[in-house]
């Protein structure tokens, strides 16, 4: 989907970057720039810089960067059109008419949202029809109240292959829209409904749109759940079920569960801060959304093995972003839904208050594996516990747990504490050297996914970035440059791609629209901001510097070509001698 350039300019003009970012991050002036603590990674000293002069931002800590649209995409977890819509609403300009920006080869996100809304109505009214009675009974048997069913807009799908498809096509939606929106599949040009004979949970985003559906069987059919795949209107990794309701209750904490039923049951019992991921483990993107709303998460996953694995993953992803995680242990009960049914809301509240922090949780998990009355087990438990405790960064906390471990194992505190301190030294020495290694590798350009050739052509890529950097911040110099600089002058693929994208802008002396039409992915946008940021640090950014760099690039490029030609000649010479040898031996 594309928007007209004038519309995008208007959006950017009316949403001043430092104003927009200032609503999320406390910014301080530093010369002509603004700095603050990065909202995308956990840090104590600011490495997040906003450059108001050219409307870009860059984090020197985690490499995230881009313009105002990229920022909103990242922080509000919206896709490109979603971010544009968000910014349009923010400054009160109406969205462009659909026809203007509709690409006939692409399915329109707005259409899918309209279709989803229609489908949600269809499912909801089916639930209250005669045929929907079994589904309604099913929900009532699971102790769901009428108000809860309405609040979540629950529904049911008929036991039919075409009921929804027929309804939607009659309402004017095209078959390709149904398949793109994951409501139906197509076989031999005929549509078939994905959601058949299921209870339906609509998934609503933070702007109130129905973006997807979850469908649960009422019996034992497989799969138990069907979830919408990624569509133009929905990214599974960027959405949490019920966050649209939970966000206003999230200041203290969010409760994270595994399933729709758990969340609904918790909301009904008064825990309106419960959310769930949609059939996937918690990943970095989920953690980033969560971090926007709260610093405290209570994990209430199922008490089986899969639940424990998911708990470990969630702890890792969220601790990384500085979120405090506590784990609710449900004992012999399977999940929060069952727990509330069995023991009631008051008992669950007690569980929340008594939930253990992530360190206690990990220690308990280690102890569960061993029988401490056996000497071997005790030895192994001691090793594993001291290994684990030695990785805790904070010394007083380490001491508390050293004591705790000694108590549990029935050993002397001194001995355990000594063992832990030795391991701690070793551990952090390794962490430090790993960090330096990775920093050096980063400096050399290793691990640069957007431009892997930076390592191989480090000298050339540096010059390329200097040129691109100037052109990014001084597009007024561009028009003249276009007569002497071509795509072919660039050696590395990413520089070539960037230059090629900049050309139409340079032609008009305009700044590159970094986020436009998702031409560059998030990592690439970060790289572009890095290139711009390193250029902005320099004092002189004029045509003199630019011309010198272009000359240098061309020389280097020629040198490379000559070397290449020489290498080729040499190879040919080799081939020639090989041939002679063969002739002789004949």
Binding residues for Zn ion, per CB under 5 A?
38, 40-41, 59, 61-62
Phi, psi of 510 (to 5 degrees): -105, 155
Collect all residues with Cβ–Cβ distance below 8 Å to 227 and sequence separation of at least 6: 212, 213, 214, 215, 236, 278, 279
Q: Which is nearer to Zn ion, 57 or 182 (CB)?
A: 57
Q: Minimum Å distance from CB 45 to Zn ion?
A: 12
Q: Which is nearer to Zn ion, 49 or 69 (CB)?
A: 49
Q: Which is nearer to Zn ion, 70 or 265 (CB)?
A: 70
Burial of 24 (0-12, 13-18, 19+ CB in 10 A): middle
Q: Which is nearer to Zn ion, 49 or 300 (CB)?
A: 49
Q: Which is nearer to Zn ion, 354 or 447 (CB)?
A: 447
Q: Which is nearer to Zn ion, 35 or 243 (CB)?
A: 35
Q: Minimum Å distance from CB 213 to Zn ion?
A: 34
Q: Which is nearer to Zn ion, 291 or 546 (CB)?
A: 291
Find the angle CA(306)-CA(310)-CA(311) to the nearest 5 degrees: 115
Determine the Cα–Cα distance for residues 128 and 117; give it in Å rounded to an integer.
Answer: 17
Per DSSP, the residues of 516-581 read GGG-S-HHHHHHHHHHHHHHHTSS--SHHHHHHHHHHHHHHHHHHHHHHHHHHHHHHHHHHHHHHH
Q: Minimum Å distance from CB 63 to Zn ion?
A: 7
Q: Minimum Å distance from CB 526 to Zn ion?
A: 10
Q: Minimum Å distance from CB 66 to Zn ion?
A: 12
Q: Which is nearer to Zn ion, 265 or 525 (CB)?
A: 525
Q: Please check whether residue 480 is in contact with residue 543, taking contact to mean a CB–CB distance below 8 angstroms.
A: yes
Determine the Cα–Cα distance for residues 46 and 36; give it in Å rounded to an integer.
Answer: 5
Q: Which is nearer to Zn ion, 288 or 535 (CB)?
A: 288
Q: Minimum Å distance from CB 37 to Zn ion?
A: 9
Describe the strand order of the beta sheet including 356-357 as a list of residue ranges.
240-241, 274-277, 254-257, 296-300, 324-327, 356-357
Q: Minimum Å distance from CB 47 to Zn ion?
A: 6
Q: Which is nearer to Zn ion, 62 or 321 (CB)?
A: 62
Q: Minimum Å distance from CB 64 to Zn ion?
A: 5
Measured CA distances, 56 to 228, 451, 517 (Å): 34, 20, 17
Q: Which is nearer to Zn ion, 40 or 370 (CB)?
A: 40
| Helix pair angle (413-443, 395-409), 10° resolution | 140
Q: What is the DSSP letter of 231?
A: B
Q: Spell out where 274-430 has E strands.
A: 274-277, 296-300, 324-327, 356-357
Q: Please check whether residue 531 is in contact with residue 462, taking contact to mean a CB–CB distance below 8 angstroms.
A: no
Q: Which helix (H) or strand (E) holds 370?
A: none
Q: Please check whether residue 42 is in contact with residue 321, taking contact to mean a CB–CB distance below 8 angstroms.
A: yes
Per DSSP, the residues of 25-57 read S--EEETTEEEE--TTS--SS--EEEEGGGTEE
Q: Minimum Å distance from CB 42 to Zn ion?
A: 9
Q: Minimum Å distance from CB 59 to Zn ion?
A: 3
Q: Minimum Å distance from CB 20 to Zn ion?
A: 17
Determine the Cα–Cα distance for residues 1 and 517; give it in Å rounded to an integer.
Answer: 7
Q: Which is nearer to Zn ion, 62 or 519 (CB)?
A: 62
Q: Minimum Å distance from CB 533 to Zn ion?
A: 13
Determine the Cα–Cα distance for residues 58 and 529; give it in Å rounded to an integer.
Answer: 6
Collect all residues with Cβ–Cβ distance below 8 Å to 181 and sequence separation of at least 6: 107, 112, 115, 116, 228, 231, 232, 233
Q: Which is nearer to Zn ion, 95 or 522 (CB)?
A: 522
Q: Minimum Å distance from CB 12 to Zn ion?
A: 22
Q: Minimum Å distance from CB 229 to Zn ion?
A: 30
Collect all residues with Cβ–Cβ distance below 8 Å to 42 and sequence separation of at least 6: 320, 321, 322
Structure tokens at 361: 């949780």
Q: Minimum Å distance from CB 61 to Zn ion?
A: 4
Q: Which is nearer to Zn ion, 41 or 474 (CB)?
A: 41
Distance, CA of 453 to chain centre: 26
Half-sphere exposure of 274 (CA within 13 A, CB side): 25
Q: Which helix (H) or strand (E) holds 347?
A: helix 345-353
Q: Which is nearer to Zn ion, 48 or 339 (CB)?
A: 48
């Amino acid at each position: 989907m594309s928007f007209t350039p004038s519309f995008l300019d208007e959006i950017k003009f009316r949403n001043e970057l430092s104003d927009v970012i200032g609503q999320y991050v406390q910014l301080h002036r530093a010369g002509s720039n603004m700095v603050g603590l990065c909202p995308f990674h956990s840090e104590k000293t600011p490495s997040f810089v906003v450059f108001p002069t050219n409307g870009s931002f860059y984090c020197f800590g985690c490499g995230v960067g881009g313009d105002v649209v990229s920022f909103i995409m990242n922080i509000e977890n919206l896709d490109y059109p979603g971010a544009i819509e968000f910014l349009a609403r923010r400054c009160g300009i109406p969205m462009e008419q659909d026809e203007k920006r509709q690409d006939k080869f692409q399915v329109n996100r707005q259409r899918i949202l309209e279709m989803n809304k229609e489908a949600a109505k269809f499912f909801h009214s089916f639930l209250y029809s005669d045929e929907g009675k079994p589904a309604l009974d099913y929900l009532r048997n699971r102790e769901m109240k009428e108000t809860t069913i309405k609040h979540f807009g629950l529904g049911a799908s008929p036991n039919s292959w075409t009921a929804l498809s027929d309804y939607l096509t009659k309402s004017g939606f095209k078959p390709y829209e149904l398949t793109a929106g994951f409501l139906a599949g197509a076989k031999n040009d005929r549509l078939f409904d994905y959601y058949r004979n299921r209870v339906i949970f609509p998934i609503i985003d933070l702007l109130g749109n129905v973006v997807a559906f979850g469908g649960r069987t009422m019996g034992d059919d497989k799969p138990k759940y069907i979830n919408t795949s990624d569509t133009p209107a929905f990214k599974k990794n960027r959405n949490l079920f019920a966050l649209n309701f939970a966000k206003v209750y999230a200041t203290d904490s969010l409760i994270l569960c595994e399933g729709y039923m758990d969340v609904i049951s918790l909301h009904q019992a008064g825990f309106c801060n419960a959310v769930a991921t949609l059939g996937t483990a918690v990943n970095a993107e989920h953690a980033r959304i969560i971090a926007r709303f709260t610093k405290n998460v209570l994990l209430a996953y199922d008490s089986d093995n899969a639940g424990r694995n998911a708990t470990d993953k969630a702890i890792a992803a969220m601790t990384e972003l500085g979120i405090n995680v506590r784990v609710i242990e449900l004992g012999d009960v399977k999940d929060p839904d069952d727990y509330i049914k069995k023991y009631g809301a008051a008992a669950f509240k007690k569980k929340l208050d008594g939930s253990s922090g992530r360190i206690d949780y990990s220690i308990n998990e280690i102890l569960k594996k061993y029988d401490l009355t056996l000497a071997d087990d005790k030895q192994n438990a001691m090793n594993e516990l001291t290994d684990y405790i030695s990785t805790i960064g904070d010394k007083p906390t380490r001491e508390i747990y050293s004591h705790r471990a000694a108590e549990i194992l029935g050993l002397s505190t001194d001995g355990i504490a000594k063992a832990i301190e030795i391991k701690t030294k070793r551990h952090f020495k390794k962490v430090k050297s790993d960090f330096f290694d990775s920093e050096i590798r980063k400096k050399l350009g290793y691990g640069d996914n957007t431009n892997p050739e930076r390592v191989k052509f480090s000298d050339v890529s540096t010059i390329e970035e200097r040129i691109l950097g100037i052109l990014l911040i001084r597009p007024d110099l561009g028009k003249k440059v276009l007569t002497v600089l071509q795509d072919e002058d660039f050696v590395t693929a990413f520089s070539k791609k960037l230059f090629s994208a900049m050309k139409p802008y340079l032609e008009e002396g305009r700044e590159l629209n970094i986020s436009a039409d998702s031409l560059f992915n998030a990592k690439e946008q970060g790289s572009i901001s890095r290139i711009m940021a390193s250029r902005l640090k320099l004092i002189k950014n004029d045509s003199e510097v630019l011309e010198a760099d272009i000359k240098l690039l061309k020389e280097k490029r020629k040198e490379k070509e000559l070397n290449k030609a020489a290498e080729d000649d040499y190879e040919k010479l080799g081939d020639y001698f090989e041939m002679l040898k063969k002739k002789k031996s004949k």
